[in-house]
Amino acid sequence: MAVPKSDYLSNVWANGIFANRVLFITGGAGTIGSAQTRALVHLGADACIIGRNVKKTEAAAEEIAKVRNGARVIGIGGVDVRDFESLKAAADRCVKELGAIDYVVAGAAGNFVAPISALSPNAFKTVMEIDTIGTFNTIKATIPYLVESASRNPNPNPSGFTGGRFLSVSATFHYTGMPLQAHVSAAKAAIDSLMASVALEYGPLGLTANCVAPGAIEGTEGMERLASNLVTAADKTRGVPAGRWGSVRDIADATVFVLSDAGNYVNGTTVVVDGAGWRRQGGLEVGLDPGMRYPDFLLSGEVSRNLKHGRNAKL
């Protein structure tokens, strides 16, 4: 069954605003990445989805292509963002088959729950490699094509079309600190810094580089890994001033904004999409069951045993 448009895109966007443009996205088969891709493809773009799992990546591309007649969506699996040569080959193939890369979304990421005491050097390194080095490799593999796109699409463009835009998926944990998330906080802080550097060094060539920082997003694998399945809806939403967890559509809409004509002067910054949740991070109980409170769970060495694929043994 096709995904309803209302699940991934608001009605405020005009059809065709990304016509004849090409999106290159890592992690595009994930819950957030697929919503971002659907939104751009619905609005006229073609896309290359990059992922490690060949079957999952190709299946996602085939499904996403259904949102618009004539859409070209290529799934390039078997690509590890930690391997620059593999990623560069994927970028070159994207340009060869679709003609260009106008937008890049770096969304590949890894996460799990672990205190520093149980976080091995290898586990920390793995998250840094996937998130931070993976983002750097994505920059290096695609930036020449984004420079070409920016030269074809002056900012602002009288036609209203855009190009030469890089967007990384970040997070908000490092704004205040978050127990059990030292690895991700370090990796995402580095990504924010990378986007600032790209904006400074490539802004004069017409590029924009930004982050989107999702808060707790309903129905995503990321939150299944972080939030206990014993937490009630009331407990989950109590920590968010907006009164709810976000949806993948919230992130897709923010992505459309930043990459569209409306985002021409947004550069070198982070668009936080979390209902003001980061303002009171203690309300998001990452890795905890109801009744577990800071700092008691750290002192006892217990975290939730009700996480998807979580590091959920006694620590």
Flag whether pLDDT at 312 surpasses 70. Answer: no
What is the pLDDT averaged over residues 187-198?
Answer: 98
Check residue 222 and give its pLDDT.
Answer: 81
Check residue 1 and give its pLDDT.
Answer: 66
Flag whether pLDDT at 284 surpasses 80. Answer: no
What residues are annotated to the active site? 170, 188
pLDDT confidence tier of residue 49, bands split at 50, 70 and 90: very high
Q: In terms of pLDDT, which residue wins out, 314 or 297?
A: 297
SS3 readout for the chain: CCCCHHHCCCCCCCCCCCCCCEEEEECCCCHHHHHHHHHHHHCCCEEEEECCCHHHHHHHHHHHHHHCCCCCEEEECCCCCCCHHHHHHHHHHHHHHHCCCCEEEECCCCCCCCCHHHCCHHHHHHHHHHHHHHHHHHHHHHHHHHHHHHHHCCCCCCCCCCCCEEEEECCCHHHHCCCCCHHHHHHHHHHHHHHHHHHHHHHHHCCEEEEEEECCECCCHHHHHHCCCCCCHHHHHHCCCCCCCECHHHHHHHHHHHHCHHHCCCCCCEEEECCCHHHHHHHCCCCCCCCCCCCHHHHHCCCCCCCCCCCCCCC
Q: Tens of pLDDT along 156-189?
A: 999 999 999 999 999 999 999 999 999 999 999 9
- 14-220+245-276 belongs to CATH 2.40.50.100: no
Flag whether pLDDT at 259 surpasses 60. Answer: yes
